[in-house]
Structure 1
Amino acid sequence: MKLTIESMMYGPDGLAHAEDGKAVFVAGGVAGDVVEAQIVEDGSSFSRATVSEVLEPSPNRVDSPCPFVGVCGGCPWGNLSREAQLAAKEENLRSSLKRIGKFDDDAVAQLVQPIRATRDDWGYRNKIELAPTIQNGRFRLGLHGRDPQQIIHVDACPLFEKKFPRAIKAVSGALGFLGNSHDLSLERVGIRASRRTRALEVALWTPTGGFPRGQVSRVLSDALPSTSMVRVMSKGEKKARRVSKVEVLSGEGSWTEDIADSQMRLSAPSFFQVNTKAAEILIDLVMDALNPQPEEVAVDLYCGAGTFTLPLARRCEYVAAVEAYGPAVRDLRRNLEINHLDNVDVIGGDAVREFPDEDADVLVVDPPRAGLAPEAIDLIASTSARDVAYVSCDPATLARDLKRFCDEGTFVPVSITPVDLFPQTFHCEAVTHLTRK
């Protein structure tokens, strides 16, 4: 059928409507395209289609430096202009606040601030992950496709840190050579790179057990000199695997990044934002919202390895930081030592079960995509905090949680600022400032 793509959804697809008014989610087009599309799934309330031909290209359609747009899962919006991407991300946030958060148009217009972004729309990722596959009887590494079961072999990725253009090809080639003569049992391979510190780490994720450490270290080092090479061993059921040990194969055994006047050292299992420069925008927004004072106490929930803990510790008298993930807790303690900060109580455990007893003045939460549990909102409301900064990576769960905050009645949102940490994708972060009612 012939379709006009009207807008971009929170997802890789565009939205169009068939002649009968049924919504059609279209893969392979951008907002403004007139396309010939083929229906691949026809449901009762909506259909899914893929573009077979672009009949009239959108004025927002651009040429991408990536030849795998629409095939690889890393840059689904790679053919959409940056300006249109930013506008779509703002609109997706507004839509979630209205549909899920039940905020009216006036409230949304007052709350949502202009989206913040860096100049780098390509070459911004400090991390990339490669997945193993067997193609034509040979072991290879590649990127997950739009279909997660599909692995696409690439020599380079335009999203990855441009200071290390050879990294992907070198790692893929070396491990491809080894994988055809040894059982490496690779689950995935992570590469982290910093343009600021020039640190480069290769992390090999495997089950526990035998592994040709010496040969892997030697061949990989010859292919790509790195500051760190590690093996991350995991065990358990596939859906609930956990890290049992990190083994240093060569170099420092961790990756270093400079961010917002701090130096952070991270082990391979620890989370860190993939866009360092844009993460500094998050830090600035959190600090602007909280305006922490030298005599105040701060609480940092879901604190990770210290992205917000470190700047809070530089400004406050005391910080209570809570994190459940063991490797991140260890990294946080090390990062406090590196930055000579001794006014932080690091609490390992679930944010609800280990909620700090301290009488907080300011509080920041940066939960996973699932957002906050209702109990967490009740506990935050029970504090004496004057201001809360909520960092979210999902507009739907953010909107749900803000409605819960408003229903509870202690804190109300005063501003929500989207931040484009992930150009060429539909993903977007947001920092919400809530203040005591």
Structure 2
Amino acid sequence: MRLEIESMAYGPDAVAHAEDGRAVFVSGAVPGDVVEAEVLREEKSFLRARVTEVLEPSPDRVEPRCPWASVCGGCPWAAMDRTAQLGAKRDNVVQSLARIGRLGTERAEALVTPVEAPGAPWGYRNKVELAVERRRGRCVVGMHTAGGPGVVKVDRCLLLDADHERLVKAVSGSLSYLANSHALDVERVGIRASRRTGDVEVALWTEPSPFPRAQAAKVIGDATAASSIVRVMTKGPLKARRLAGTERLAGNGWWSERVLDESMRVSAPSFFQVNTLGAERLVQIVMEGLAPTRDDSAMDLYSGGGTFTLPLARRAGWVDAVESYGPAVGDLRRNLGRAGIDNADPVGGDAGREFPDEGADIVVVDPPRAGLAADVVEKISALDARAVAYVSCDPATLARDLARFEEAGRLEPVSVRPVDLFPQTFHVETVTMLRPRG
């Protein structure tokens, strides 16, 4: 079918409409394109299609810098101009707040600022993950293919820091070599690289099973000069994997990064923002919004390894930090100890069950993509806090939670600031400031 592309969805696809009015989600298109598209799937209310020919290119269409952009799933918006990407991301945040958050378009437009873009549009990541599959008896290491299962073999990733983009080829080659002589059951590989500290970590994710530890350490170490090589073991169903343990194969057994004035060590299973410059901007926005003082008691929920806990503790009188993931709790405790910070209490457990009893003057929450549990919204709303900073990586769950805060009646959003931590993709981070109703 011939389609005129209207906008970008919150996802890899663009949006058009068929003659019968149904929405068409189109892969490989940019708003303003006129395309010929092949229908892949037809439902009652929508269709999915892919571009077979660009008949009239959009003014916002660009030639992707990455030669694998059309087949790799890592940068689905790479054919769109950066300014257009930022506009589309803001539109997605506004639409989520207006519809899911029930704030209405006018109010949402007033709340959401233009998207900030710290750093470069390419080479911004400190981490990439490689997929692994067996193909005709051979081990193939690369990136997930766009729009489906499978692995596309690449020799570098242009999203990874430019000083380290060739690590992809080095890791891929070393694993392929090892697989020739060993039953190498690797599920995926994480590569973390810091330009600031020089640390490089290679993490092999496997099941708890026999593994050629010494050989893997030697071959990967020779190929990458990694400062840390670890094995992360998980077990259980594919969609509900559980951490079974971590082994240091060579080097430090951890990776380090500097965020503003703080030095942090991160274990392989723990979450850390993949865009260091972006993480710094999030910290700055949160600190500006909360304006902590030594008279303040602060709360950091879903604290991870301490990205917000450490700078909060430098400014506030006390910080209660709650994190449910065991490796991250360990990282947080070590980072606080190394920083010489003794006015923060790291607690392991669910944010709702371990919600601090003492209350807080200021609060920061940085939950996973699923957002806040309903009981956490209720407990935060019951606090006598003067400000809450909500850091979100998903506009839909943010909007749902803001509707819950509205229903609770005490706190209301006063600003929503999107930050582009993930150029060439649809993902966007936001910092929402909530304050007591006037």
In 1, Cα distance between the equivalents of 2:114 and 2:103?
A: 18
Tell me what 1:390 maps to.
390
In 2, Cα distance between the equivalents of 1:182 and 1:401?
A: 49
Shift of 1:381: 1.1
In 2, Cα distance between the equivalents of 1:70 and 1:8?
A: 16
In 1, Cα distance between the equivalents of 2:116 and 2:202?
A: 31
Tell me what 1:181 maps to.
181
User: 2:375 is aligned with what amino acid?
Assistant: E
Pairwise mapping of residues 105-254 of structure 1 onto structure 2 (< 5 A)? 105-254=105-254
Q: Report the 3-state secondary structure (helix = DSSP H, G, I; strand = E; otherwise coil) of the residue aligned with 2:164.
A: coil
User: 1:135 is aligned with what amino acid?
Assistant: R
Tell me what 1:36 maps to.
36
Structure 1 vs Structure 2 CA RMSD? 1.0
Tell me what 1:7 maps to.
7
Cα deviation 1:199-252 (Å, max 9, x = unaligned)? 100011111121111111111111110111111122233332222221111111
In 2, Cα distance between the equivalents of 1:20 and 1:236?
A: 45
189-198 or 39-48, larger mean C-alpha shift: 39-48
Tell me what 2:72 maps to.
72
Shift of 1:422: 0.3
1:240–1:19 CA distance, 2 compared to 1 (3 A): closer
Cα deviation 1:51-95 (Å, max 9, x = unaligned)? 000011111011112122232110000000000000000000011
Q: Report the 3-state secondary structure (helix = DSSP H, G, I; strand = E; otherwise coil) of the residue aligned with 1:187.
A: strand
116-125 or 255-264, larger mean C-alpha shift: 116-125
1:278 maps onto 2:278 in alignment = yes
Shift of 1:165: 2.8
Tell me what 1:351 maps to.
351
Tell me what 1:47 maps to.
47
Tell me what 1:58 maps to.
58
User: 1:15 is aligned with what amino acid?
Assistant: V
Cα deviation 1:250-291 (Å, max 9, x = unaligned)? 111100000021000000000001001011111111111111
Tell me what 1:306 maps to.
306
Aligned length: 437
In 1, Cα distance between the equivalents of 2:181 and 2:132?
A: 15
Shift of 1:108: 1.4
Tell me what 1:434 maps to.
434
User: 1:213 is aligned with what amino acid?
Assistant: R
Q: Report the 3-state secondary structure (helix = DSSP H, G, I; strand = E; otherwise coil) of the residue aligned with 2:186.
A: coil
TM-score (norm 1): 0.98
Cα deviation 1:118-145 (Å, max 9, x = unaligned)? 1310001111111111223211211111
Tell me what 2:99 maps to.
99
Tell me what 2:414 maps to.
414
In 2, Cα distance between the equivalents of 1:239 and 1:23?
A: 30
Residues 27 and 70 in structure 1, CA contact (< 8 A), matched pair in contact too: no
Shift of 1:49: 0.9
In 2, Cα distance between the equivalents of 1:165 and 1:403?
A: 42
Q: Report the 3-state secondary structure (helix = DSSP H, G, I; strand = E; otherwise coil) of the residue aligned with 2:426.
A: coil
239-248 or 42-51, larger mean C-alpha shift: 239-248
Tell me what 1:255 maps to.
255
In 1, Cα distance between the equivalents of 2:330 and 2:289?
A: 28
Q: Report the 3-state secondary structure (helix = DSSP H, G, I; strand = E; otherwise coil) of the residue aligned with 2:397.
A: helix
Tell me what 2:26 maps to.
26
272-281 or 157-166, larger mean C-alpha shift: 157-166
Gaps of 5+ in 2: none
In 1, Cα distance between the equivalents of 2:109 and 2:144?
A: 37
Moved >3 Å (runs of 4+): none
User: 1:397 is aligned with what amino acid?
Assistant: T
In 1, Cα distance between the equivalents of 2:219 and 2:17?
A: 54
Pairwise mapping of residues 327-406 of structure 1 onto structure 2 (< 5 A)? 327-406=327-406
Q: Report the 3-state secondary structure (helix = DSSP H, G, I; strand = E; otherwise coil) of the residue aligned with 1:280.
A: helix
TM-score (norm 2): 0.98
User: 1:54 is aligned with what amino acid?
Assistant: V
User: 1:209 is aligned with what amino acid?
Assistant: S
User: 2:207 is aligned with what amino acid?
Assistant: P
Shift of 1:423: 0.2
In 1, Cα distance between the equivalents of 2:32 and 2:64?
A: 17
In 2, Cα distance between the equivalents of 1:238 and 1:16?
A: 34
Q: Report the 3-state secondary structure (helix = DSSP H, G, I; strand = E; otherwise coil) of the residue aligned with 1:90.
A: helix
In 1, Cα distance between the equivalents of 2:8 and 2:151?
A: 25
User: 2:261 is aligned with what amino acid?
Assistant: D
User: 1:109 is aligned with what amino acid?
Assistant: E
Gaps of 5+ in 1: none
63-72 or 342-351, larger mean C-alpha shift: 63-72
Instruction: Report sequence identity in percent.
Output: 57
Shift of 1:39: 0.9
In 1, Cα distance between the equivalents of 2:183 and 2:213?
A: 12
User: 1:405 is aligned with what amino acid?
Assistant: F
User: 1:297 is aligned with what amino acid?
Assistant: S
